[in-house]
Amino acid sequence: MVQIKGSAIQETFDQIKNRSGEESLQKILGLLDEETRKVFKGKVYSSAWYPLDFFTRFVELENRVLDDGNEEMVTRLSEAVVERQLRGIYKAFVKLGSPEYVIKRIAAVHKAYFQGVGIEVRLSEKDKALIRYKGFERQHRIIGFAIIGFFKKALEISGAKDVTVYFTAPIDSDKEYCELSIAWI
């Protein structure tokens, strides 16, 4: 079973409260299926692991309730989280490194946030990379939008220009892996 670190869930809850208020968070929690709601209504511990299936149900519902199903907003919200983190306490990590270094560090961070997901980085040629994830399942598809935002914003903050990030093999494809293509100048 694929799991996600509780700190990612807490960050999402905080973002909803800052953006739309505590009432919106409670509304979304109230609309979840009973099993998922039971897990998230209690205290979410930043160091604990939670089923990614539950988190993706939450994010999909959040997206429908707050953004009318516009999945591009998942990417934008992910970019906002990354920008806040990387312009604050983690800014040295992106400013000191080349885009290649940043990509490797992000992949390492993803390994720490996803349990049961393998990540392979291939720097294929100058200014291009392929990231292969193994372990995500079809129902985790919405997480792909957040992953795109994470890489795109971190690379832009590090100074990369014309950053393009997209899935060549999406999470919900019939392959046993998903693959992200990244290019920049």
Q: Is residue 86 part of a domain?
A: no
CATH number of the CATH domain containing 128 = 3.90.1520.10
Whether residues 56 and 100 share a domain: the answer is: no
Instruction: Please give the Cα distance from 142 to 83 (Å, whole number).
Output: 20
134 pLDDT more than 90: yes
Whether 53 and 109 map to the same domain: the answer is no
Q: Is residue 117 classed as helix, strand or coil in its secondary structure? A: coil
Q: Is the pLDDT of residue 89 over 70?
A: no
pLDDT for residue 55: 98
pLDDT at 94: 64
Based on the fold, state whether residues 103 and 162 are members of the same structural domain: yes
Residue 118 domain boundaries: 96-183
The per-residue pLDDT for 92 is 64
104 and 59 assigned to the same domain: no
- Do the domain assignments include residue 106? yes
State the average pLDDT over residues 69-98: 81
pTM attached to this predicted model: 0.91
Q: Indicate the residue type of 68.
A: D
- What percent of the chain has a predicted confidence (pLDDT) above 90? 78
Q: Exposed, middle or buried by CB within 10 Å (0-12, 13-18, 19+), for 162?
A: exposed
Number of domains making up the chain = 2
**Do 113 and 177 share a domain, yes or no?**
yes
* Degrees to nearest 5, angle at CA 170 with 164 and 173: 160
- At residue 30 the predicted structure's pLDDT band, cuts being 50, 70 and 90, is very high
Tell me 138's DSSP state: G
Query: Does residue 123 belong to any structural domain of this protein?
Result: yes
Contact 145, 77 (CB under 8 A): no
* Domain match, 61 and 110 both: no
